[in-house]
Structure 1
């Protein structure tokens, strides 16, 4: 009995898929005492975290490109790829929310984390040689990005400044 648990714990490190199949078999047989509960519970918890992490990644893309649109767009014909990125990330995010409705609340709680990621992406984007001209807008220095997320969760989901704005 104890040998099976030990070998399952070892199997977890060596062959995850086989570990999963063996635990599933034990659960189906009702052999609950032999299940590698410690690792199984950790994996279940990680499953939920992965979905939230995906949503945070989508929100970071949305925030980054909304911010670019509002702060770095210097001509009317600029920024179309940012719109595409926002809309694509929103579709993916809405798919997650539709499939897992409770993730919406978790997304609202993780908005600041997404903004922090977006800021890092913005800094990376601005310091690439091809984009250094944007720094001229700020006197050649990196701008100060807001510490707090400048957008609400509702804006992440719905805000389309390109629909409201007209150039010159």
Structure 2
């Protein structure tokens, strides 16, 4: 039986090599040789990274929705393009990890203050104009057709 050797310190010295070795060990069923502590750290880190990425998309989406709603005739095409890009990116992330959809409402609410500040900066409106709490549901944040600008901005 072939013995797979994992160099000591490999995790710190060459992360990609370490990942390849861990995958090789898993495929070979050599669980006793796995670097379990670092694997746990990396798996938890991957979850945190996906949630941070979702938070970024939600902040962008919320800021653009606020901008469209409270200043619908000021750069509407620009905001709609950016809104579409953010929703597309979020959709790809959710396609890869569908369970993230259950975090949308909570993460959007947690990041609302940042989105509100950004919308105020982008629209050049006072922050107090925007609602104190997130005015959009998770369904609206996900809905590619949801645009709160009123009246609708035809032609933009």
TM-score (norm: length of structure 1): 0.73
Does residue 142 of structure 2 align to residue 143 of structure 1?
no
> For 1:160 and 1:108, how far apart are their aligned partners in 2?
18
Does residue 34 of structure 2 align to residue 35 of structure 1?
yes
Q: 2:49 aligns to what?
A: 50
- Aligned to 1:161, what secondary structure does the other structure show? coil
> For 1:32 and 1:166, how far apart are their aligned partners in 2?
59
The ranges of structure 1 where at least 4 consecutive aligned residues each deviate by more than 3 angstroms after the TM superposition are none
Q: 2:80 aligns to what?
A: 83
Residue 89 to residue 37, structure 1, CA distance change in 2 (3 Å) = same
Q: 1:104 aligns to what?
A: 101
List per-residue Cα deviations over 1:111-143 (Å, max 9, x = no partner).
Answer: 2133233134335x35xxxx7xx35xxxxxx43
Name which structure has the greater RCO, CA cutoff 8 Å, separation 6+.
2
Residue 166 to residue 114, structure 1, CA distance change in 2 (3 Å) = same
Residue 6 to residue 22, structure 1, CA distance change in 2 (3 Å) = closer
Total equivalences in the alignment: 146
Residue 16 to residue 156, structure 1, CA distance change in 2 (3 Å) = same
Contact 1:5 1:36 in 2 (8 A): no
Q: 1:165 aligns to what?
A: 151
TM-score (norm: length of structure 2): 0.78
Q: 1:114 aligns to what?
A: 111
Task: Give structure 1 stretches of 5+ with no counterpart.
Answer: 136-141
